[in-house]
Every structure is written in C-alpha cells, then in structure tokens.
C-alpha cells in the first residue's frame, strides 16, 4: 500500500526501501501521466540526480508514464534546473523538434543518501499542495489512463550551457572554488564555469551517491 506520508506540500519524498520503492514510482508515473493527458499533454521529461536508487526509480517512473500513454524524454543524470529547462525549450528529438512542457526530476534534494523523491512540473507549472494530494488519490483509486508511450534519451546539457553562455558575460576574469559535495551538479558546473572563461579549483565534483566527503547541502 502506498504511503500518504511521502506526498508533501511541494514534492513527493521518502526513504528508499521503507516508504519509497519502484512500485511507488511506477504508480506515481501512471498517475502523473494520466493527469498530463487529462490536461491535453502527451509527453513528460524525466531526469535524476546521482543517488544510488535513481536508476531503478526513474526506470519504474518511466514505465508508469508510458503505461498511461505519454511519451517519455529521458535527459539523464542532471541537476533539477536542467530538467526544468528541458521542459521549457524546444528539443531536437528523433521525430523532429518538440516542446515537452511537463517534467519529473527524481531527486532527494538536500536530504541524506537513503532518501529520494520527485519534483514535478505539469504543463509548464510546478505542482504543489492539493495537486500533489490529488495524485495520491488517483493512485489509491486506480484512476489511470492507458496507452503505450514511447521512450527516448536526449542530452540537453550542451543546449543548457549554450543558453547561459549566450546570456551571461563575466565582467572580469574570475577564479572560483567549486565544491559540489559529490552531488549531481559537479560535472555540469565545471563545464559551465569553464565555458564562461573562469579558472576553477575543483573539490568533490565527481558524482558519488554515497556522498563520501560531506553532505551536498548548498545551505
């Protein structure tokens, strides 16, 4: 039985193996995909952070979305803002350019390694509060659309970096220390700052979902 306790005010979040597993992720996918279709959408971007539970959870999530009849565009292991970016710009997919305005990022955010969760954008707007509780009720009531959506992987990182580099010009040369705490932002942050012409001192910029050096909380 799915736990209502993981359906928070602004996201869905739980402890993997206790309140969150692949069956839960699949149910969330089916419910969210059904809501996308109810609002006239037909596709969802998915992404994940570097936690060890991420691959299984995002796989089950994608299965649920496709079972609800929506296409899945998987942008891989990227920071949450990159997932949101992918749901706000045209994507050059195999079938041609397409806008996908819904997104789910599988991320535990600033929580310990055994946590994971889901941050969601539905038809261009982040969902929260009653909308998240409505997903829970849809799962419990098994009110799902059915279908067979497609699946495609897409690398959006270059497009994201190009957008920022096109918008920002540093006023002077900068030397930065980048400490990513082995979180998902490390590799992309170093690429971005180097593209902006910055000199970097890198600390823990490789992704390791066990967070062996320190907790990757930006606060």
Name residues whose C-beta falls within 8 Å of residue 48's C-beta, 6 or more positions apart in sequence: 54, 55, 57, 58, 76, 77, 78, 105, 106, 107, 184
By three-state DSSP, how is residue 213 classified?
A: coil
Active-site residues: which are they? 109
The DSSP code sequence of 127-177 is: --THHHHHHHHHHHHT--------EEE---HHHHHHHHHHH---SS--EEE
Q: How far apart are CA 76 and CA 154, in angstroms?
A: 8
List the beta bridge partners of residue 126: 121
| pLDDT band per the 50, 70, 90 thresholds, residue 1 | confident
The phi and psi torsions of 83 (rounded to 5 degrees) equal: -60, -45
Q: What tokens does 209 get?
A: 């979902």
- What does the pLDDT look like over 114-158, one tens digit per residue? 999 999 999 999 999 999 999 999 999 999 999 999 999 999 999
pLDDT at 195: 98
Give yes or no for residue 7 having a pLDDT over 90.
yes
pLDDT in tens, 155-210: 999 999 999 999 999 999 999 999 999 999 999 999 999 999 999 999 999 999 99
CATH code of the region 8-155: 3.40.120.10
Which pLDDT tens digit goes with each residue over 75-122?
A: 999 999 999 999 999 999 999 999 999 999 999 998 999 999 999 999
- Could you state, in order of their start, the residue ranges of all structural domains in the chain? 8-155, 168-203
Question: pLDDT at position 218, please?
Answer: 73
């Amino acid at each position: 039985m799915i736990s209502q306790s993981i359906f928070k005010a602004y996201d869905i979040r739980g402890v993997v193996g206790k309140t969150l597993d692949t069956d839960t992720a699949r149910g969330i996918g089916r419910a969210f995909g059904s809501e996308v279709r109810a609002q006239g959408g037909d596709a969802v971007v998915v992404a994940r952070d570097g936690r060890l539970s991420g691959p299984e959870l995002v796989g089950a999530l994608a299965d649920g979305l496709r079972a609800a009849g929506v296409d899945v565009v998987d942008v891989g292991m990227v920071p949450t803002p990159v997932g949101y970016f992918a749901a706000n710009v045209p994507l050059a997919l195999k079938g041609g350019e397409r806008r996908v305005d819904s997104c789910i990022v599988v991320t535990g955010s600033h929580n310990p390694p055994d946590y994971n969760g889901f941050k969601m954008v539905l038809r261009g707007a982040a969902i929260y509060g009653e909308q998240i509780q409505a997903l829970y009720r849809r799962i419990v009531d098994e009110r799902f659309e059915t279908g067979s959506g497609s699946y495609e992987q897409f690398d959006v990182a270059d497009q994201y970096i190009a957008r920022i580099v096109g918008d920002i010009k540093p006023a002077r040369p900068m030397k930065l220390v980048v400490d990513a705490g082995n979180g998902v932002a490390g590799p992309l942050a170093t690429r971005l700052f180097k593209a902006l012409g910055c000199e970097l001192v890198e600390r823990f910029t490789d992704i390791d979902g066990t967070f062996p050096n320190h907790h990757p909380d930006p606060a």
